[in-house]
Each structure stands twice: as C-alpha cells, then as structure tokens.
Amino acid sequence: MNNEIYFITGNKEKLMILSNIAQSKGIKIIQKKIECPEIQHEDIEEVAKFSAKWAANKLGKPVIKNDCGLMIDALNGFPGFSAKFAEKWLKAEGFLKLMQGETNRQMKYVDVTAYCEPFKEPIVFRSETLGRMSHKKSGNYGWELDYIFIVDGDDKTMAHYPDNERIKLLNSQHYHELLEYLKHHPQTI
C-alpha cells in the first residue's frame, strides 16, 4: 500500500493542518499546486467536488481538494465560497462597514474537503468553525478576515494568533473524518 496522497492546494496553513493530522496516521501528504477550474456555485461542497474530480482525472491519482467559505448570518451567507475574492475587494474594514449597526454578528468558516479517485465520484467531508464578527479590526497575523473573526469561546480575533496557534482554533474535524475513511479503505491510497 502506498501511504502518500496528493493535496491540491497552494495554502500553507491548510497543508500544515492536514499534514500534522495525517502524519500521526502514517499518511504522507504531498502538496500539488495546479490551477483547478472552479465552478460558480453557492454550495461549497459542489465547488470542492468539481475541482477534486477534475484534478484526480487530470493527474490519474487520488487527490484531496479543500474549499472553504465564510458565511455571515446578517448578510444571508455572504460572501460564501467567494470569501477569498470578497476579502481582496472589501478588506476587513469593508466587512465592518457592511455590518455597521447590525446586532447579529454571527458568522462561520465552512471547510469542505473532497477526496476523489480518478474517474470516480468524490466523497465529501465538512466542518464549521463558529464565531462572530468583531466591531473593529485587530491583531497582526493571518488573512484579512482573521482580523475580524472571533471564534466562539474566545475574546480575541484570530489575527491575534500566529499560524501555528491560529490553525488550532479552526475546526479540523473534516480532515480527521477523511483520514479515518482512508484508514478503513486502504486500497484507495
């Protein structure tokens, strides 16, 4: 059995999280940077499944693909899977302006990981990190949205934590479920 699997990502934080979890299970994660087409869809699971299937078929190997989004309750789930682009355009300050006067500041990061073998249908694993939007930008680390995202149970934004601490705040259950699946289906890797 080959205990290596390709993770299609350019995101060092995602790679760090999955690699750390996989190492304890004897699975080596190999980062593969390829540009996958992303469909425009409001369901993050559909976006992850499409990209995983495309990458598995292109490489002829089993792959893992992760997509994530940010859902803000008061904005009816905006920006969703477009968080990366909205973050570029609006920055933390723009999101704070959109939420001025809003009392419902609930939001969540949604992580979807799709595992796919060549010419098969993807299997999807999902987890959510619940939190709320701060009233001001604060912190020194991470992405723009980390400056305004406070994880439930904490009182500081995620941007107050360096990478190795910040990744521990995120719900990584989807990665654990994926690796448990692979453990029980060893012929897949």
Residues belonging to the active site: 67
Q: In angstroms, rounded to a whole number, what is the distance separating the alpha carbons of residues 163 and 114? A: 24
137-133-87 Cα angle (round to 5):
65
Residue 66's beta-bridge partner residues? 113
Residue 132's beta-bridge partner residues? 106, 150
Please state, in angstroms and as integers, the Cα–Cα distance from residue 111 to each residue in 59, 148, 173, following that order: 23, 18, 9
Alpha-carbon 186 to chain mean position: 25
